[in-house]
Structure 1
Amino acid sequence: MVHRGCRPHRNEGLTTTVKWYQDGTLHFGLGIEDTFVPQTRAGERALDEYELTEHYENWHGDLQLASDVGAQFIRWGIPWHRVNPAPGEWDWEWVDRVLGRFDELGIRPIIDLLHYGTPLWMQSEFAHPDFARHFADYAVACAERYRDRVTDYTPVNEPMIHARFSGDVAYWPPYLSGERGYNTIALALAEGFVRAQRGIAEVLGERATFVHVDATARFAGDVDGQHRPLVALQRAQSFLVEDLVTGGVDERHDMLGSLRASGVTDDTLAWFASHAVKPDVMGVNYYPRHSTQLMEEGIVHAGGFVDPWPTQDDGVAGLEELLRTYAHRYGAPVMLTETCVTASVEERIAWLDASVASVRGLREGGLDVVGYTWWPLFDMYEWTYRHADTPRSESLLTMGLFDLVESSQGLLRRKNPVADRFRQVATDAAANAPISRTGAAR
């Protein structure tokens, strides 16, 4: 059923003089895994994490769990493929209810507009000639409908992974490959990103806050030997979309030659320079056991994350390096927008403690780190589920504050000790937060 009903009620708590990331506090939040790749073909089934984790049914209680452990914000995604089932048609009923629950609990939503997949009606997905226009229309529709309820948006989550999986290694639709494929998807995402952010800003004005979020790529081992060209390329690729949207691709950019070889014109780059948008907060996703690729002498790497490269756990050293790198490169406050280890409860607690201490140390040293996000609230399912034919239970990743437990009533959420530790650090931070000039808690 398509709904074009009345706009949700106004949330007065969102109208503050000092924005949340400017109040001097380290904010603690959570994410709910929201990867959507709804397209199917032979040997590839739909990947919808909300469906797999039964969040569509359990959203009310899931947000309560986040509130119970002291989350001040939740990174949460709108399923574009569901709310926009056909061109020009919108079904907001489920999203209305979920965002109403955010209001009830007093948790700030930071909305992911694009966490991978596009609607099924959009042929060629990100390579569709009108992708950027359709994406901007969707973003503006969200901003208009929730203008009195939501002010914080991540237009495109992890554009580097989008471009790698969809445009380099042909793992996800539209299955492009190689350097030219990467650039094709990166340019499309960047244009959509710019048009979406500018459209939201027109609706919300100064109230809008944009949290840009990307995955991170570090390299260790044989980085100066046989792998030097590949490492240089992938380092440059990891920044490409954010550099495009912020107007940073010029004659000195490391990707300029590659872009021109892919047919990108000076007029296109001039458009990005003249329409640049900036992050209010630059989000860094860092997983200590996955974010650093180990380059080994004598091993031929095809490139991309599908090629099963070994990784190196650089712990908090890698985290600190990347937060500093993004703060310096983009001149904005930074935020740890995803982190965890997929491991035992004891190992998860150890990483939580170490990473929180590291972030606090950076703040004491003068780096403007404004947020910490444990990802995810409850366990999720590995993306390889899409290419498997096994039950979802065989793809479970133990990452969350709450375990997902199979039962005859569906998936149960069972609290584990990581939740208690997160609640301790989050509530301690909230208790020590300064009072804003408006007196608002949010």
Structure 2
Amino acid sequence: MSRPSRKDAVSTPNWMNDGRLHFGVGIEDTFVPQERVGARGIDEYALTQHYEHWREDLSLAAEAGAEYLRWGIPWYLVERKPGEFDWRWIDQVAEHSRSLGLRIVVDLMHYGTPLWLENQFLNASYPERVASYARAVAERYAGTWDDFTPLNEPAINAEYCGERGIWPPYLSGQDGWVKIMMALARGMVRTQQEILAVNPAARIVSVDAGFRWEGDDLPLPRELMEERRFLSLDLTMGRVDDAHALHGYLTGHGVTETELEWFRANAVVPDVIGVNYYPGFTTVRYVDGAILPVEAGTLGLRDLLTLHVDRYGLPVAVTETSRGGSVESRVEWLEQSVAEIESLRADGLPVVGYTWFPFFTLVDWLYRHDLKTPDEWFIHMGLVDLERGPDRVLARRKTMAFDRFQAVTAAGS
């Protein structure tokens, strides 16, 4: 069967289940706009000048051969006041993506909430606020954008906002982790419900970070850490009952049986489970309290994808992967990881997507905590490198990895 044209592919239903491996890229879109002493706001689109170069960036993604783009809406800018939406820029992006035949997997929530939402995820109205925003997006762009991620990496959110107190609302410990995860999961359920209420043809791509650990010197019991990485899916899919491995952990931190019953009564199922995996730092080892990255290569990738398929029986996609360092190392990982995915597919594992993320240079989140310039926190992991000129403009420079990705996608078609 011949591959559909780009413009036809945008509106083809059930593209995730057509038997092919689909290639995409993603633009880093972390938004943590809240500031406080010692913590600057983060808006990756501003730091990388995507707001100025968005048209070029989308065009480059299409030129690279990407069928889809993971791209996020800056909720805090679109809804500056509760219930008042400014779609002017988003309308332009939607139109350009359609003209390119580039499918957008809309990243509705990539960490940050609007500035007016007091206590962020702990606000009692958060689940309904995020669902209302998602409904507005899905309704306005139905037929142009029909693929959605309700919330990117809930486990990272729970860690940064609830366990380690790095991002607002700055909770800490296991009690904080549980409180944030419960709020996020409820928002994810309500988001999916509201999207499908206004666009029944919409497809849901859940996305969470992969977590792996080596060694026995862990801060929590291994079983707890291994089960926590699946909790957002287990909650939203209504799988947490009194027999669940984390039932006692949750109730011990204040979760009621009524809350768990709500999830079972409102269970939602994604179309695809997205796994974010980085060979150089998804796997870690704890040494004297320090977290040290461990190189895991394709073994870690195979492990995480297989675990998710075995647990849920749903199609999976690699929704983020890349490698920092030299362009040569990026090309090597691209070839190794794609070959591993093809091997898994040949063995019958339903892997339907491969996403190089980020598409271009990002600014390390540590930028938030000092006064260095964005350039001093650049991490070059993309197919395109950012290079600041004397006019302060960040030029987009295609690398050898861009050319290789282009060749891989062409062969895959």
TM norm structure 1: 0.90
> Which residue is 1:190 aligned to?
185
> Which residue is 2:359 aligned to?
377
Q: Could you tell me how far apart the structure 1 residues matched to 2:53 and 2:388 are?
A: 14
Deviation at 1:228, TM superposition (A): 7.7
1:37 and 2:32 matched: yes
Q: Could you tell me how far apart the structure 1 residues matched to 2:386 and 2:138 are?
A: 33
> Which residue is 2:203 aligned to?
209
Q: Deviations over 1:302-341 (max 9, x none)?
A: xxxxxx4012111001100100111111221000000001
> Which residue is 1:180 aligned to?
175
Q: Could you tell me how far apart the structure 1 residues matched to 2:365 and 2:223 are?
A: 27
> Which residue is 1:314 aligned to?
296
Listed as ranges, the gaps of 5+ residues in structure 2 are 1-6
Deviation at 1:240, TM superposition (A): 1.2
Deviation at 1:229, TM superposition (A): 3.8
Q: Could you tell me how far apart the structure 2 residues matched to 1:112 and 1:164 are?
A: 19
Residue identity matched to 1:377: F
Q: Deviations over 1:391-439 (max 9, x none)?
A: 1111000101111001115100011100000000011112xxxxxxxxx
> Which residue is 1:337 aligned to?
319
Q: Could you tell me how far apart the structure 2 residues matched to 1:382 and 1:14 are?
A: 32
Q: Could you tell me how far apart the structure 2 residues matched to 1:321 and 1:98 are?
A: 36
1:415 and 2:411 matched: no
Q: Could you tell me how far apart the structure 1 residues matched to 2:8 and 2:116 are?
A: 37
Counting aligned pairs with the same residue, the percent is: 46
> Which residue is 2:4 aligned to?
none
Deviation at 1:381, TM superposition (A): 0.5
Aligned-partner SS, 1:41: coil
Residue identity matched to 1:397: I
Listed as ranges, the gaps of 5+ residues in structure 1 are 1-10, 302-307, 431-442
Residue identity matched to 1:413: R
Residue identity matched to 2:261: A
Could you tell me whether the CA contact under 8 Å between 2:10 and 2:101 is conserved in 1? no
Q: Could you tell me how far apart the structure 2 residues matched to 1:112 and 1:330 are?
A: 22
Q: Could you tell me how far apart the structure 2 residues matched to 1:327 and 1:13 are?
A: 26
Residue in structure 2 matching 1:91, options 73, 86, 89:
86
Q: Could you tell me how far apart the structure 1 residues matched to 2:179 and 2:247 are?
A: 14
Deviation at 1:233, TM superposition (A): 2.3
Q: Could you tell me how far apart the structure 2 residues matched to 1:56 and 1:43 are?
A: 26
Residue in structure 2 matching 1:347, options 322, 329, 339:
329
> Which residue is 2:144 aligned to?
149
Q: Deviations over 1:189-231 (max 9, x none)?
A: 00000001011011111x1100000001101122xxx538443
Q: Could you tell me how far apart the structure 2 residues matched to 1:13 and 1:312 are?
A: 39
Deviation at 1:295, TM superposition (A): 3.4
Q: Could you tell me how far apart the structure 2 residues matched to 1:350 and 1:14 are?
A: 30
Could you tell me whether the CA contact under 8 Å between 2:357 and 2:382 is conserved in 1? yes
Residue in structure 2 matching 1:66, options 58, 61, 68:
61
Deviation at 1:23, TM superposition (A): 0.9
TM norm structure 2: 0.96
Kindly report which structure 2 residues correspond to 1:43-442, keeping only aligned pairs within 5 A, or say none.
43-205=38-200, 207-222=201-216, 226-227=217-218, 229-296=220-287, 299=288, 301=289, 308-407=290-389, 408-430=391-413
Aligned-partner SS, 2:214: strand
Could you tell me whether the CA contact under 8 Å between 2:11 and 2:144 is conserved in 1? no
